[in-house]
Structure 1
Amino acid sequence: MVTRRQFLGISAAALSSPLWAGALTAPFATAAPDNLRFRLVNNSGRTAYAYITGQADADGRAMFVRPDGSVYYPTASGSVPQPLGEDPAVPVDGSTEIVVPRMYGARVYFVTDDKLEFFTVRGADGVTAVVHPNFVSDADPNFGKNWTFAEFTLNAEQLYANISYVDFVAAPVGLHLAHAGGTQEVPGLPDGAIDRIASALREQGDAWPACVQEANGTVLRVLNPNHRAEEFTGYLDDYVDQVWRKYANEPLIIDSQRDDIGLVEGRVEGDDLVFGAERFGRPTTADIWGCNSGPFANNPDTDSEERKAIVPRLAAAFNRTTLLINPHQPHGEDPATFYQHPVTNHYARVVHENLPDGKGYAFAYDDVSANPDEDHSGKVNHGDPELLTVTLGKIR
């Protein structure tokens, strides 16, 4: 299964999401191109700029792609954030094409009516890192601006791209990939969806209105509840208790979807859910929303292969609140039953309800599915890509 985590790695795309890295053997016979044409389309009705940034595939250096397709490698002299040495903004008037070299953990940012401010810092290891726009702190100079992004990696194996709502919903973005033999498309949210999503969460009550972020009196972003974790303290406690009681009396079967691991069986023993040698304590609501703390913490260097397989499937079932109705994860899962428990990840529910094809990353393990042919996450990928079109729509 091709996943966002495997392709994006430890990168800008994971700044406020779990950090993963790892090799993947792609199911393509030939190497992907060294460079790929990107078509950037501005359907927002406003002046727009794009920024293409990530890590160089060859050596991991932070990089931006200039409007002419050349590469800018920013440098930093110290640990205090400093502005970039040049402006790498790509004007997008109607549409423009740019040739993008191989890079990983990358983003295509869009911003309207303004430009974004990026900064650099020099780490203790001497490596320059890019400080990306901050959507949580109103002290960030980009906070009140209308910006959004799509994620991608282009390496020797293939082009992989997706639209992520793991952090927030903002102005809509769509993807279209032309490749040898056909096309793939992820339409993303329609124009104006942000107001419908904001209204739905406000009507949901409880802590959900806290996810709606305004600037200058209008909705600018709707945040994943992971970024409002303090507002949701204890929200899922009763659900977790019910899950623990259920699996103290019957087994929970998780299909690792790996031939070398197969099915694993778990039961609650004491206060832990136990799968062989792997023990999982009760997750908090913050653990479930973030998918990277408590029992779901990602420790790629020390976690067993069994734990690496269990965590995504268990975390996905908690977010979708299907553990009380399906003891066979993720097989037996029916998307029609996702988010139907009254206490659930309503952010993910509302985002998926507003997507024309229902596909998009609303939490970090939203790519977990019952079979390889089923996709909830909304990605495009191919080993012989020809043109990736990234389209910015209207925020309202």
Structure 2
Amino acid sequence: VPKYLMAAHLRGEAPCEKNGGVKKRRSDQADIPDSLRQEAETCYRLKLPEDFYQFWKFCEELDPEKPSDALVSSVGLTLVGPYDILAGKHKKAKSTDLDFNLHWRFFYDPPEFQTILVGDSKTQYHMGYFRDVPDELPVWVGANEAKKGCAISQVGDNVFAAVKLFLSKKLKEVTDKKKNAILKDIDEKLTRTAKELGYSLEQKTTKMKQRDKKVVTKAFHGAGLVVPVDKNDVGYRELPETNANLKKICKAIVDAPTDDERLKAFAPIQEMLTFVQFANDECDYGMGYELGMDLFCYGSHYFHKTVGQLLPLAYTLLRRNLFAEIIESHLARRREEEVDQEAAGMGEMIQSWACLVQLSHNQLLTHTYQTPFPSSW
């Protein structure tokens, strides 16, 4: 009997309680009450894969008191985001108006990305589930270092694979024998648990390769965009500029010495916006999606208004309404250049809630962005 099942029994919890009765779980399901699963998925309005719950139980075995912190001292990872719901942290929040669209959302995170693990705060390393469509399960787990840019790397199709890859790199870096032994022990436990549960530990699975074939463009973040394209090739048309040229155009806009120069530099973008209108009229919704995402990824506040015109519309046309809502919430907060300096210095509790990092005078600030709720959790 797994330790976490025994622990649940000792706490007097049934494997799954619903309407006063006991419902049998499938053998591949984690022992987490349906009510808690529903709460996590209702808060985010996103379906969570079974590996999300299984990994929580794995961390619960490592540290029954604080599963969220089970990997902090050894691996340097903290369970966050929807894991905060499983930990009950949302119930301790002072604010009644919690915006889960922004919870643990970093500066470059597109709506498709949902943070579940955070690492080094200096680079703002974090891992999250990446979804092409909000009402479907994630296609893989990605990683980003917000202080370095918008690039999202694929690190496996489940959280076990992602942490395994992270552990493997960590083991190569650690020279201290004691720390190395601790990491090896966790690595062995994780590998064994993943195999028992039937999860692949490959960085790139067949399923991920199949998804790659559906990608119409890599976009600036490199994760790729997927849109429906019919047999007549309706659904996506290429931008008239390459990624390299588009970045040069963006740089010219941001670096312009005066507003007049900036307006002139914006002409190629304005022309592309006209092309996007034509594309939308002919159901090639992927074009506006790509341009909006690229400008979002470039990161400058000069593009926020244009992104706000492009992405919510693209998501709505693609019937990805939740993503439209997320990008609108994100842009509204992303535009604020003033960071709450007092909140930024209120100690480790607040520092641990890094949600959005602001651009001020075209430089990434190092302070924590305080959303309405994290600092009070």
Q: Return the structure number with greater strand share.
A: 1
Q: TM-score higher than 0.5 here?
A: no
Output the TM-score relative to the length of structure 2.
0.28
Output the TM-score relative to the length of structure 1.
0.27
Relative contact order (C-alpha < 8 Å, sep 6+): which is higher?
1
Question: Which structure has the larger Rg over C-alpha atoms?
Answer: 2
Q: Return the structure number with greater helix share.
A: 2
